[in-house]
Structure 1
Amino acid sequence: MTARIGVVTFPGSLDDRDAQRAIRLAGAQPVALWHGETALRGVDAVILPGGFSYGDYLRGGAIARFAPVMETLVDAAKGGLPVLGICNGFQILCESHLLPGALTRNAHLHFRRRSQRLRVENTTSAFTGHFDAGQEIVIPVKNGEGRFVADERTLDELEGEGRVVVRYVDGNPSGAMRDIAGISNAAGNVVGMMPHPEHAVEALTGPSVDGLGLFTSVIAHLGRTAVGAGSSQT
C-alpha cells in the first residue's frame, strides 16, 4: 500500500507544495493538512514545511505551536508517528517541545541562502536510513533564524545519544552551536533540520538530488514498521 504523508500548511508556509512534490517523487502520496483543523486524515507521517508561519511574529514557530493541528500532531508524534520539520518546521518542533533547544537569529544577523554541504551523523532515525554514516550531502539552506542553540548539558546529551542527525561542514551558515544542522528526538521518529531537502530532489532544479533520501528513508521506515506490526499480530 502506498504511504500517505501529510504536509501541514500554516499561514505563511512557502514550501508546502515543494514538500508535496518531493513526497510524490519519492513514491508516496502527499496529503494536504490544514493548520486550523485537528484531523491528521490517517496519514502515516507528517512534514512541517519551511516558510514564515504566522509571519514569524514573536519568533519563528512560536504561534504555530498553538495551531489546532499541532494539538493532535504532538500526541501522535509522542506515540511514534514520524514527523520531519524543515526550517520553520524545525522551529515549530522546538517551540512545541518535541525537540530540545531553539533556533535564533543567525549569529551574523544576515539571511543566508546557499547550497550547503552536510555530514550525515545518524542513520537510525526514521528519515535517514537510506544514508551512510559520515556521508556528505549537499542541500540548500535559506534562513535568517537558523542558529541552533541549547545549554551545554543538552548539547552533550544530543551528542552522547547520537541525536545529531546532520552537521554543517565547509562552513556554518548560521553560527549554530557545534555546527548542528538537524537533530532527532530520543525515539528517532521526530527530526528537525534547517536545510531544505525538498529543494534537492531533482537534478534540473536542485544543487543535487541528495534531499530525496530523507523522503525515501521514511517510506522504507514505514514499510518496515508495517511488516513488524503485522508479524507481531500473527
Structure 2
Amino acid sequence: MNSLKNYKGLYYAALILLLWGANLWYFLHYPVRFDDPLIYLGLLIQTHLYTGVFITAHDAIHGVVMPHRPKVNYGIGWLCATLFAFNNYNKLSSKHHLHHKHAASEQDPDYYAGNFFRWYLKFALEYVTVWQIVLMAITYNLLKLVFPMWNLILFWEVPAILSTLQLFYFGTYLPHRGEHDPSDKHKARSQGLNHWIAFFSCYFFGYHHEHHAYPYLPWWKLAEAKEKTESK
C-alpha cells in the first residue's frame, strides 16, 4: 500500500496529461460548426484540463508530484510547464516560492494592489516572455499544416488563455485581494466549503489559505485540509 501511495502523484499527473492530450486530439479532428453545442463543451473541458496541467506543474514546484524521486518530479513539472504555452519551469518555480515567502506584498511577483484588469495584466507580463510568443507562433504554424485553423484556435489556443484567467481569478485574485487579518502571515483567504465548486473552479485551489498553510499538500488533499479547518 505504501508503494501505491508513493506513486499517487504520478498517477494523477498521468491521468491529467492523458485526458488533456486525448481531448485535444479528438477536437483537433472534430468538424467545427458554431451551432454545435459540443464545440463549446469541448472548449470548456479543454480549459479545465489545461488548468490541471498547470496545477500539476505547480505541485511539482512544491516537490509533491513524486517527493521520493526529485528528478522525475522535476521532469513532470518541466513537461507540464512546457505544454502550457512553453512556460519556463525554473522561472515559475523561482517566482512561486517568492510568492509564498512574501504573499500579498511588494516582493510578491503575483501581487498587485489594483483592480482586476491591471492586476491580471501585471500577472501575465510577469511570466510571459518573447521566447514563449515566438515558440507558440512557430508551433501554431507547424500545426496548421496538419490541423484546421479553427480547431487549433478553439482547442489549443483559447483554452490556454481561458485557463490563465481561471488560475488567476480563483488562485490569485480572490484569495489575495483586499485587506487581510494582520495576524495572518499567509495573507490568503479560502472560498466556502463546497468540494464540487472548489474542484471545478480550480482543482481545490480556492481553498487557498490551506495551500499556503500546508504547501506540501498536493491539490487533491486540499479538500481534506479545508474540512479540518472548518471543524476547528
| Alignment TM-score, normalising by the size of structure 1 | 0.31
Structure with more of its chain in helix, by fraction: 2
TM-score, normalization by structure 2:
0.31
Give the strand-richer structure, 1 or 2.
Answer: 1
